[in-house]
Amino acid sequence: MSDSKALDWRVTIIFLTGLFVALVGLINSYPTYWIIPRLGPFSPEIIRPLILGASVILVTFKYSFTASFSEKGPRTKWIGLALDILICAVIAFALWRFSIDMLDMIDTMILFEPSHSIIALAASAAFIILCWRVWGAALAIVGIVALFYYFTGPYWPGIFRTAPFNIISSSAEDLWFNLGEGIVGGITGILIFTAFPFVLLGAMLERTGGARSLIKIAFHFTRKLRGGPAHAAIMSSALFGTMSGAAVTNVVATGVITIPMIKKRGFSPAFAGGVEATASSAGQIMPPVMGAAALVMADITEIPYINIIIAALIPALLYYTSLFTSVVFESRRLGIEAVADLSDTDTDLTVQRQDYYNLILIIVPIATVIFALLWGFSAAGAGNIALTVLVPLSFLNPEVRQTPALIIRALANGGRQFGELLMSVAVVGIIVAVLAATGLPNDFTLLVSQAGGTELIFTLMIAAIAALMLSMGIPTLPAYLTVILILGPAITKLGVSVLVAHLFVLYFSVASSITPPVAIAAYAAASIAGGPPMMTAVYAMRIGLVKFLVPFVFAFYPVILIVQESGVPFEWMPFLSILLRLIVVIYLVSSAVIGFDQRRLPAWEIISRLILGLLIIFTNPLIHWGAAGVAILFLIWHVIKFRVKAST
């Protein structure tokens, strides 16, 4: 068999397996009270192993050791093939035993034997290897460290020492044979039964034409602004990112169109990549979907999903406002002028009537999600309704009418994305099991309390730094879960509400994708822009600096989250007070990080703006109102003295 035919077989298997994962997951995520009966083996003892097993096959064929070893020579190909077969066999046997033993546990109590422990350890090792293949070393290493601590905990010093345990029964139950924690536990269940429809929604939007039309329309409405393409990138990435929920996917889907246009307008490659990276990463904090992390958050915290969406809205809008402002100042700095006619830059981006029809493919599903949640449907129910609406609507696109198979391809691609995501969540299941068994979060709470004392600001700073470090190189969902399970108790112990703590960690988990040295979203954007990866990451972090401030703002001013789960009752005066001050902060910080306002800013003025921005968000009224007054007078003086005669 030739290499091309072998490749065709692998692609076919990946496609069919992805479609299988999509269809089975979709059927089993439908609410049971719908008129359409729920089909298939939907009990968790069967459906979780079934989808996990199919995902392993999918990942094994796409990231096979066979293909990797074949590149080194035909003699080593068989080593790779043996590794692929071994991993699949180990996981298949472990999943089969899980289904059998978990069903038996419903009626009888079974005693764990050494074989159960061996199965748990072998399955854990196999999933760590697959996670490493798909997502890189970062999360896999965290899983290895967690297992090392699990088995050596009784020998650690001080507060990190754990109680002795029976290695046979405990490891089997903690890591594998458990519907609560472990690899096949609750996190995997939440992803399968709740988040799955939204993964398919993002894949459908990417493949059925809505994404490109969204970008074209965004270009059209921002064409008279100096930073037109950059503003368009921010708008389109926000709307597309809330549906896709993945920073790198968002960068690739929108960046291939937006980044070249930003460069054509006169921005540097590093800035073009930085804008796209920071806008794409923030799609995960942009309502109404916010990606899989928000759905998991709703299940873990037992806070209604609609309330999480409402709480995240104002902070997200403020953050995107800061991105728009940064582009304005960068445009002024470079002396870039507006181009009134979009056709002068690229005729392929000229808006046609069909693009407005295609925009329905994005607006209607988003509106459907919101209305379904308001009508009382669960998150999974809202996602399924939106997906059901999107499938027939996709035929508004003539490409779909000509090739209806695009819908099948989109579903298969969604199944593939979901299967890859499950590999990371499997390792998170190991980490969750270790945390639950060892009580490590309690130890971290004590440690952080000793380091930060009773001051909330110090505890939040420690949590923020830890979140950035633990999240580097890891997808947002596993990063958020890992950090919140370890540091969440330490934050809430100081009086912060559960919602604030989870949103705080989520923000910094998202921010890690643009934070050097492992800024995965920025590096993806740099590869498209052709700019230096590290410089692109630095630009992304500078442009997105407000993302690092917003979590501290809603930690000290939870009223900005609006909902009662924020921990304080909503009042208009405190809300308007912090909102107006944040607008001033955004202007100060955005101009400072670019180093330009009406003119190039000297170092003293940059430092002054940053200091005033920090003082304005202090909780002491004398400090923040005094700083706000000084800042406003300072900005008025600057504008009057150095005003530039150019529109933004």
Predicted confidence (pLDDT) per residue in 621-635, tens digit = 999 999 999 999 999
Q: Are residues 206 and 343 in the same domain?
A: yes
Phi-psi label, residue 567: left if phi above 0, alpha if psi -120 to 50, beta otherwise: left
Distance in Å from the first CA to the final CA of the chain? 61
Q: Are residues 168 and 204 in the same domain?
A: no
- Express each pLDDT in 11-63 by its tens digit: 777 777 877 777 777 666 665 444 444 444 456 678 888 889 989 998 998 88
Q: In the prediction, which pLDDT does 41 show?
A: 45
Q: In the prediction, which pLDDT does 343 show?
A: 44
**Among the three residues 390, 406, 422, which one is the final residue of a domain in this structure?**
406
Q: Are residues 254 and 129 in the same domain?
A: no
Q: Are residues 115 and 233 in the same domain?
A: no
Phi-psi label, residue 495: left if phi above 0, alpha if psi -120 to 50, beta otherwise: left
pLDDT band at residue 239 under the 50/70/90 scheme: confident
Q: Please give the average per-residue pLDDT across 316-341, as a whole number.
A: 84
pLDDT band at residue 515 under the 50/70/90 scheme: confident
pLDDT at 210 over 60: yes
Half-sphere exposure in the Cβ direction for 172 (13 Å, CA): 19
Q: In the prediction, which pLDDT does 614 show?
A: 93
Nearest-angstrom CA–CA distance, 362 and 210 = 6
Q: Kindly state whether residue 430 falls inside one of the protein's structural domains.
A: no
Q: Kindly state whether residue 466 falls inside one of the protein's structural domains.
A: no
**Among the three residues 159, 187, 215, which one is the final residue of a domain in this structure?**
187
- Express each pLDDT in 400-440 by its tens digit: 888 888 888 888 888 888 888 899 889 989 988 888 888 87
pLDDT band at residue 182 under the 50/70/90 scheme: confident
Q: Are residues 178 and 246 in the same domain?
A: no
Q: Kindly state whether residue 58 falls inside one of the protein's structural domains.
A: yes
Q: In the prediction, which pLDDT does 344 show?
A: 45
- Express each pLDDT in 260-298 by its tens digit: 888 888 888 988 898 888 988 888 888 887 877 888 888
Q: In the prediction, which pLDDT does 37 show?
A: 44
**Among the three residues 171, 187, 203, which one is the final residue of a domain in this structure?**
187
What is the value of pTM for the model shown? 0.86
Q: Are residues 150 and 219 in the same domain?
A: no
Q: Kindly state whether residue 547 falls inside one of the protein's structural domains.
A: no
Greatest mean pLDDT range, 224-238, 348-362, 373-387, 561-575: 561-575
Q: In the prediction, which pLDDT does 1 show?
A: 42
Judge contact between 387 and 197, C-beta under 8 A: yes
Q: Kindly state whether residue 641 falls inside one of the protein's structural domains.
A: yes
Q: Please state the domain count of the chain.
A: 3
Q: Are residues 353 and 240 in the same domain?
A: yes
Query: Which residue is associated with the tokens 């950035």?
Result: 468
Q: Give ∠ CA 7-11-14 in degrees, rounded to 5.
A: 140
Q: Kindly state whether residue 435 falls inside one of the protein's structural domains.
A: no
Judge contact between 50 and 24, C-beta under 8 A: yes
Q: Are residues 23 and 92 in the same domain?
A: yes
Q: Are residues 237 and 145 in the same domain?
A: no
Residue 247 tokens read as: 């920073």
Q: Are residues 325 and 213 in the same domain?
A: yes
Q: Are residues 7 and 155 in the same domain?
A: yes
Is the model more confident about 418 or about 163?
418
Q: Kindly state whether residue 486 falls inside one of the protein's structural domains.
A: no
Residue-range definition of the domain harbouring residue 599: 587-648
Q: Are residues 193 and 182 in the same domain?
A: no
Q: Kindly state whether residue 126 falls inside one of the protein's structural domains.
A: yes
